[in-house]
């Protein structure tokens, strides 16, 4: 498509279910962050969900893809820059669950990528880049309490670069040294930052209903973030330069606690989820020797999903992260990320679902239907017999109904002489 030719700007949409990656339309709002950078580290915490009523025994794989596209063309629009803007995103979500007795294992892979091009910056620049692999094992001591082990990896697939439409000077905020003067500044290399998280302990699901479920965990947690050399934008608007913070490698070990809630409303059309995680790193490599209270990592994540169709959803998510050890002393920032996304989804491999146990009302209704079907069958059989008898009577009225001949009695035996 040639964006400069109005006659070729029309986008043709095919069948969304079959060609979701090529012919989908959506709307996306980029992240709004206090600590703004494409290379920022925003960890992901999931609730420890046990085996549900739909989980089947054994291995259960799944694979789905998502896509979003936003196209905007402005010409003489007040308050807008003339030109053609494009934002598109692709995502992959894969899983492999295992359920057997008291054992539950959930393995997930999620990839989320989005890129934008504007009239100011006429090249595609990534706006979101998250790759995460997670493995979770639960052993249930009873229906609501058990032991868990969790390992997760999170990183970025592509390099992060700050691209500007005008010549810009980037400086190191700590030393005020000039890093680059031009139109682009590298913030992070591919697969950077790279974070490995592991935790183990006790979990509980004290309340689990469809509309509201509560999950808790407490135990030991470790976290390793390789971020040495990663730059984070922390611009002072009062200066002409763009200030960058240098992040550092982080190694932590301590106590971890997590609380999460979630549920489905409006017959599954609305889903919500929220979780709060805290890691107090009693063992760490902080070169500024800050207190454990200062280094305690706090992360909140919330998601609200409106399922308009099985293949189309409107999703709002928010992430708030306080992770002081990533930043130099006195320059700690709180990371805030908001996203609104209209997503089209196509499942390549559907996860198998166990049929739900019927309720008492559903059982009573099924029994009533069974009795009605049996009564209807008996009625049909009776009607058929009546029709056969009526046919026989009708035949007797038109023709002589002669009774069958009675055979002659056998002759009496002769008397003995």
Q: Does a structural domain hold residue 368?
A: no
Structure tokens, 401: 């109904």
CATH of the domain at 216: 2.40.128
Q: Which residues does 38 contact at the CB level (< 8 Å), separation at least 6?
A: 126, 127, 129, 156, 160, 161, 162, 187, 188
Q: Which residues does 87 contact at the CB level (< 8 Å), separation at least 6?
A: 28, 30, 68, 69, 70, 114, 115, 116, 117, 127
Q: How many domains does the chain have?
A: 1
Q: Does a structural domain hold residue 262?
A: yes
Q: Does a structural domain hold residue 390?
A: no
Q: Does a structural domain hold residue 86?
A: yes
**Cα–Cα distance measured from residue 316 to residue 338, given in angstroms and rounded to the nearest whole number:** 8
Cα dihedral sign for 378, 382, 387, 392? positive
Q: Does a structural domain hold residue 18?
A: no
Can you give the pLDDT of all 417 residues of the chain as single tens digits?
344 443 433 333 333 333 333 333 333 333 333 344 333 334 444 444 556 666 778 898 999 998 887 777 877 667 677 788 888 889 999 999 999 988 999 999 999 999 998 888 888 899 889 999 999 999 999 988 999 999 999 999 999 999 998 999 999 998 899 999 999 999 999 999 999 999 999 999 999 888 999 999 999 999 999 999 899 999 988 999 999 999 989 999 999 999 999 999 988 899 999 999 999 999 999 999 999 999 999 999 999 999 988 888 888 989 999 999 989 898 898 988 888 878 888 888 887 776 666 777 777 888 888 888 888 888 888 888 888 887 777 777 665 555 545 555 556 565 555
Which range marks the domain in which residue 59 is found?
34-363
Q: Does a structural domain hold residue 244?
A: yes
Q: What is the dihedral of CA 343, 311, 90, 36, to 10 degrees?
A: 20
**Cα–Cα distance measured from residue 128 to residue 158, given in angstroms and rounded to the nearest whole number:** 10
**Cα–Cα distance measured from residue 98 to residue 30, given in angstroms and rounded to the nearest whole number:** 35
**Cα–Cα distance measured from residue 246 to residue 350, given in angstroms and rounded to the nearest whole number:** 43
Q: Does a structural domain hold residue 52?
A: yes
**Cα–Cα distance measured from residue 357 to residue 397, given in angstroms and rounded to the nearest whole number:** 59
Q: Does a structural domain hold residue 341?
A: yes
């Amino acid at each position: 498509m040639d964006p400069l030719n109005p006659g070729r700007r029309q986008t043709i949409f095919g069948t969304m279910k079959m060609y979701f990656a090529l012919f989908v339309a959506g709307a996306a709002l980029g992240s709004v962050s206090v600590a703004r950078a494409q290379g920022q580290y925003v960890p992901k915490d999931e609730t420890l969900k046990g085996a549900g009523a739909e989980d089947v025994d054994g291995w259960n794989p799944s694979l789905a893809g998502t896509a979003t596209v936003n196209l905007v063309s402005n010409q003489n629009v007040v308050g807008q820059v003339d030109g053609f803007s494009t934002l598109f995103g692709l995502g992959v979500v894969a899983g492999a669950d295992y359920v057997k007795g008291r054992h539950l294992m959930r393995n997930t892979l999620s990839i989320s990528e989005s890129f934008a091009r504007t009239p100011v910056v006429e090249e595609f620049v990534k706006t979101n880049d998250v790759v995460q692999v997670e493995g979770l094992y639960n052993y249930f001591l009873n229906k609501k309490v058990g032991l868990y082990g969790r390992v997760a990896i999170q990183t970025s697939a592509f390099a992060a670069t700050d691209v500007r439409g005008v010549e810009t000077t980037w400086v190191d905020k700590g030393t005020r040294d000039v890093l680059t003067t031009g139109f682009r500044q590298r913030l992070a290399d591919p697969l950077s930052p790279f974070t490995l998280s592991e935790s183990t302990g006790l979990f509980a699901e004290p309340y689990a209903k469809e509309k509201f479920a509560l999950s808790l965990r407490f135990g030991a947690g470790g976290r390793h973030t390789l971020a040495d050399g990663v730059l984070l934008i922390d611009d002072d608007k009062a200066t002409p330069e763009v200030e960058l913070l240098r992040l550092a490698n982080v190694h932590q070990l301590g106590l971890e606690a997590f609380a999460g809630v979630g549920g489905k409303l409006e017959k599954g059309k609305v889903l919500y989820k929220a979780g709060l995680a805290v890691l107090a790193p009693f063992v760490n490599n902080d070169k500024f020797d800050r207190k454990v209270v200062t280094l305690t990592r706090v992360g909140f994540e919330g998601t609200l999903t409106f399922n308009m169709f099985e293949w189309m959803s409107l999703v709002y998510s928010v992430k708030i992260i306080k992770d002081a050890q990533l930043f130099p002393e006195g320059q700690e920032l709180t990371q805030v990320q908001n996203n609104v996304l209209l997503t089209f989804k196509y499942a390549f491999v559907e996860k198998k679902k166990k049929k739900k146990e019927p309720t008492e009302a559903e059982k009573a209704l099924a029994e009533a239907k069974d009795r009605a079907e049996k009564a209807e069958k008996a009625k049909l059989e009776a009607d058929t017999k009546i029709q056969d008898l009526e046919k026989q009577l009708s035949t007797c009225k038109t023709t002589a109904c002669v009774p069958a001949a009675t055979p002659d009695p056998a002759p009496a035996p002769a008397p003995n002489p």
